[in-house]
Amino acid sequence: MSKETFYITSPLYYVNDVPHIGSAYTTIACDAVARYKRLRGFDVCFLTGTDEHGQKIFKAANDKGMTPQAHCDFIASKFQELWKLLDIKYDKFSRTTSKNHEVIVQEFFNRVYKNGDIYEANYEGLYCEPCEDFKAAKDLLEGNICPVHKTKVQEYKEKNYFFALSKFQDRLSDYFDKNPDFIQPSYRKNEVLGWVKEGLKDFPISRQSVKWGIPLPVDTSQTIYVWFDALIGYLSPLLNDGDLVNLENAMKKYWPSSVHVIGKDILRFHAVYWPCMLMSAGYPLPEKVFGHGFLTKDGEKMGKSTGNIIDPYELINEFGTDAVRFYFLKEVAFGKDGDFSRETFINRINSDLANNLGNLLNRSLNLVNKNFNGEIENTNSDLLSLKIKVEETIKSYEKHIENLDLKDALDVVWQLVDATNKAFNDNAPWKMIKEGKVNEAKACLYETLEILRNISILVNPFIPSTSVKMYEQLGFDSFSLTSEWDCLGIGKKSQFFKVLEGKPIFPRVEDKMQKAV
Ligand code: MSP
C-alpha cells in the first residue's frame, strides 16, 4: 500500500541578500514538522527554495558587479549551505530561475489567460520594492513611506496585464466558510477575512520596466510580476527527472499541499492571491496556510541599518545547531511574535538541555554503568508511577504538533522531563543501591531509561542530533530510531538495556566559555 503524502513548504526566500534568522526560523519549524511526519510514516515532501526574479534582485546583483544569474546562484548556494548547517532535511529546493519553472509559470499564465481572467489596462499606483508589492495610499506613513520597510514607495505608471482578482470575491468567501481551518492560527484568519470584506481588487501581474523576470507568453515586452511567478515555485520542483514538463505532471503526487508555512507579512499573497490564481487555473487549493509571527532582538525590530540583527552563522558557531533549533521552537509560541536575547538563549539551553535533560541522562547512565555493568532488566516497570504520564505526554504532543503548536509540543515533553527528574530524586536509586535494595534500584533505573528512550524519539524532529546521541547512549542503533513511533510507551521496545558510557549531550554554556579563555 502506498503511504499517505504530506507536502509542506517554507516560503521561497528572496536572494537580494544572504539568509537571515527570519528565514532560518521558518525553515527550522518546517523541518521539525516534516521530520515528525516522516516518523509517523508519511511520504513527506518538504520544499524550500529561493525567489530570484524582480527589480530588487536585479539591483542587488548590479551593486555587486555580478550578472543577475551569477548573483542568484551564489546566494542560493548560501541558503543551501545554511540549511546544511541547521540540519534541515528538505526534499526539494525550488529556484525560480530554473528552466522548468519558467515553462510551468508560462503554462499557468496561459491557463488563467484562456479562462478570461487576465486583461490589459493602465496602472497607476505606488510600489514598495523591498516588499515587491503595491501599496494603498491610506496605508502609508507620511503619505509616501512603506510602514514595513520605512522606505519611500515609488510612483508607478505602466500599461500592464491584470489578474481579475475581484471576480473571485464570492468563491473565495465561500471557500473560507467551507474550510474554516484553511488559515491558521485563527487570529490570522480574522485579518484575511477583513481584507476580503473590504473587497478584492484586480492587480497587475506583469511589469514593463522589469527585465529580470519570466517573459509574458502573450507579450514578451513584459515580464511576469515576481509574486505571480514565485507562488508557482511551489509546483514546478515537484516534477521528477524525466517527466514531461507540465503542470499535470508536477501536481500528480503531492498537490494539493498540506500546509504552506509563512510569516505573517506575506499572508495576503498566500491566503488571497494564490487561492484565486489556483481557482482560475482550475486546480485544487492548498489545505492550510499557517502564518507565524515575527522575531525581534532584545525587544526591538531587527534591521541591518540599525545593526540589531541575529546572525544565524554566528549563533550556530557559538552554540551549535540543536541549541539554535531548540531555542526558537521552545521559546516562541509558533504563530505569535517572539524575542531573542542572548541571556534568555543561554538560560534556556542551560536549564532545559544541559541541566534537566542532559543531567538526567548522564546520572542514570553513570549509575547503571558503575553498579550494573551497563545492564538493566525490567523488574517492575512502574515504580516511578510515570507510566500514565508518559502516555498522556505522547497524546498531547501529537495533538499539539498536528496543530503546529510546536512550542506546546515541546512544553509537554519538558513537563515529563521535570516529572522524571523529580521522581528520580525522590526515589534516589543511589541510596537504594547502598541499602542493598537492588531490585528497586533496577526498577527505578529501567523506568528512567525507558522514559529517556521515549523522549529521544519525541525530541527527534526538533533536535535531531541530540536525539540520536541520547538514543545511542541508551544502547540502540540510531538507524532504528526513525521507525520507533510504534515503540512509544514504557516497556514497548525491550525489557532490557545494555547502555554505553554516558557523555554530556549538552555542556553548560558558561563551561564552554571558561574553556575558551
Ligand atoms: N520571496 C517572498 C516569499 C515568496 S513565497 C512564494 C518573501 N521572501 S523574504 O525573504 O522576504 O521573506 C521570507 C520569509 O521570512 C517570510 O515568511 C517572512 O515572514 C520571514 N521573515 C523575515 N523577517 C522575519 C523576522 N524578523 N521574523 C520572522 N520571520 C521573518 O517574502
Q: For 497-515, how does the pLDDT look when each residue is reduced to its tens digit (9 = 90+)?
A: 999 999 999 988 875 554 4
Cα–Cα distances (Å) from 467 to 64, 191, 250, 357, 358, in that order, read: 42, 38, 35, 11, 11
- Predicted local distance difference test score (pLDDT) of residue 515: 43
CA of 241 to the centre of ligand 1 (A): 29
User: Ligand 1 centre and the CA of 23: distance in Å?
Assistant: 6
pLDDT tens digits for 199-225? 999 999 999 989 999 999 999 999 999
Is 25's C-beta closer than 6 angstroms to any atom of ligand 1? yes
> Distance (Å, rounded) from C-alpha 416 to C-alpha 249?
46
Please give the number of the atom of ligand 1 that sits closest to the Cα of 301.
Answer: 26
Ligand 1: distance of its center to the CA of 11 in Å? 7
Rounded CA separation 270/289 (Å): 7
Ligand 1 mean position, distance from CA 283 (Å)? 25
Beta strands in 373-477 (DSSP E): 375-377
Mutate to test the pocket of ligand 1, among 23, 129, 296 (most ligand atoms within 8 A of CB): 23
Ligand 1 site-directed mutation target among 25, 266, 269, 278, most atoms within 8 Å of CB: 266
3-state secondary structure of 263: strand
| Ligand 1 touching residue 266 (CB < 6 A) | yes
Whether 231 lines ligand 1, by a CB cut-off of 6 Å, is: yes
pLDDT on residue 31:
98
pLDDT at 379: 83
Of 9, 210, 1, 184, which is closest to residue 92 (Cα–Cα)?
Answer: 9
Q: What is the spatial distance between Cα 402 and Cα 394, in angstroms, rounded to a whole number?
A: 12
Work out the pLDDT band at 517, boundaries 50, 70, 90. Answer: very low
Rounded mean pLDDT, 32-52? 97
Please identify which residue in the block is written with the cell numbers 536509586.
Answer: 429
Residue 516 has a pLDDT of 43
pLDDT score at 76 = 98
Strands (E) located in 75-211? 92-95, 118-128, 133-135, 154-163, 183-184, 203-204, 206-207
pLDDT at 244: 97
**Ligand 1 centre distance from Cα of residue 209 (Å):** 25
Residue 90 φ/ψ, nearest 5 degrees: -90, 155
Tens digit of each residue's pLDDT (9 = 90 or more) over 154-200? 888 889 999 999 999 999 999 999 999 999 999 999 999 999 999 99
User: From CA 473, how far away is CA 80, in angstroms rounded?
Assistant: 31
Ligand 1 pocket member 210 (CB < 6 A)? no
Question: Would strands 295-297 and 300-301 be described as parallel, antiparallel, or unpaired?
Answer: antiparallel
136 CB-contact burial (10 Å; exposed 0-12 / middle 13-18 / buried 19+): exposed
Q: What is the pLDDT of residues 330-370, one digit of tens each?
A: 999 999 999 999 999 999 999 999 999 999 999 999 999 99
Give distance in angstroms: CA of 268 to centre of ligand 1.
Answer: 13
Calculate mean pLDDT across residues 248-270. 97
Q: Can you give the pLDDT at residue 381?
A: 66
Q: Assess whether the C-beta atom of 113 lies below 6 angstroms from ligand 1.
A: no
CA 510 to CA 43: how far, in whole Å? 42
Query: Among 105-109, 117-121, 126-130, 427-431, whose mean pLDDT is lowest?
Result: 126-130
Distance CA(290)–CA(183), nearest Å, equals 6
Q: What is the mean pLDDT of residues 395-423?
A: 98
Q: How far apart, in Å, do the first and last CA atoms of the chain sit? A: 58
Alpha carbons 457 and 482: distance in angstroms, whole number: 8
- Averaged confidence pLDDT in the chain: 94
Of all atoms in ligand 1, which is nearest to the CA of residue 296?
A: 26
All structural domains of the chain: 342-498 (1.10.730.10)
C-beta of 22 in contact with ligand 1 (< 6 A):
yes
CA 277 from centre of chain: 24
φ/ψ region of 222 (left if φ > 0, alpha if ψ in -120 to 50, else beta) reads: beta
Task: For a ligand 1 pocket test, name from 8, 9, 10, 14 the mutation site with the most ligand atoms within 8 angstroms of its C-beta.
Answer: 14
- The three grid cell numbers given for residue 126, joined into one nine-digit string: 505606488
